[in-house]
Structure 1
Amino acid sequence: MTFTELPPSVWDYTLETAAKLLNIAPSKTVPQTPYEIWYGKPASYKYLRVWGSSAYVKRLVGDKLDSRSSLCRFIRYPKETVGYYFYDPSEQKFLSRENAVFLKKGFPADSQRDEVLLEESSEEPQHDNATSFEPSVPTDGVPVLHR
């Protein structure tokens, strides 16, 4: 949750989302999910999204020259309606919409914590002779590891 850069005031929606997922998830120990017991049919999984993921949500009002959508974060599923519940960080308010365009990349959006820089070392790694692997190169050029 800390990697989503959402304010702590929306973290309680994480528990609601987790409870919903547990109620529709199958289990080996119980033949039916709680959702199947309550509604008499299996749950659909096609609408599920990752908590905190970014999505473009259409604005309901605005001028002609304003952008028609805003970048929001998914925070929960509405209880009585179909759709999603979003947090708009630019306006600091909550939105409930049926449709949104979810981004496939960039989770969590605008986060620099995901980037890891790897540096090459010129030093030889230290190997223990008892557990080291000795690579051998066969005639076809593909290395094989032997113990």
Structure 2
Amino acid sequence: MVWSMMSFTELPLSFWGYVLETAAKLLNMAPSKTVAQTPYQIWHGKPASYKYLRVWGSPAYVKRLVGDKLDSRSSLCRFVGYPYETAGYYFYDPSEQKVFISRNAVFLEKGFPADTQRERLPKYEWFTSKCTSYQVVK
């Protein structure tokens, strides 16, 4: 599960810990046939809420509180996890190379991860062009 989550993003391997925490959280929230309650339900005494779950590594526009009047009020970041101590999400800002917590974000999950995979595929233009001469290679 962790490896598949990492493979759909272009984030470096240093985010392995964030992926592991998110995968553990999701597995603890998942129902099981063998046990009547989820581990989350046993630990917290109430069923888990799934409404705040997001796709790991998805891009999001996060509202930033710093800046001038004419500066951009949001920056394009990546969702990297759920903090335990507060409500919100962990985001990674590639321009500042920092991880921070924020609640104010617009997630761009609609085409993710299919859009990013399509961009990573090599473009073979010679498939579509007509070949005028052939060359034998030994």
Among 54, 67, 84, the residue aligned to 1:79: 84
Query: Which of structure 1's runs of 4+ aligned residues deviate more than 6 A?
Result: none
Is 1:14–1:75's contact at 8 Å kept on the other side of the alignment? Answer: yes
Q: TM-score, normalised by structure 1?
A: 0.73
Structure of higher CA gyration radius: 1
The residue number in structure 1 matching 2:95 is 90
1:81 is displaced (CA, Å) by 1.1
Q: Is 1:113 aligned with 2:120? A: yes
Corresponding residue SS for 2:8: helix
Please say if 1:48 is aligned against 2:37.
Answer: no
Q: Partner of 1:136 in structure 2?
A: none
Query: Using a 3 Å threshold, how does the CA distance of structure 1 residues 64 and 96 change in structure 2: closer, same or farther?
Result: same
Residues 34-62 of structure 1: CA deviation (Å, up to 9, x unaligned): 11111111000000001000100011100
Say what the alpha-carbon RMSD is for the aligned residues: 2.2
More helix by share: 2
User: What amino acid is aligned across from residue 73 of structure 1 in structure 2?
Assistant: R
- In the alignment, does 2:36 pair up with 1:4? no
Query: TM-score, normalized by length of structure 2?
Result: 0.77
Amino acid at match of 1:10: F
Does residue 1:61 correspond to 2:66, yes or no?
yes
- 8 Å contact kept, 2:56–2:79: yes
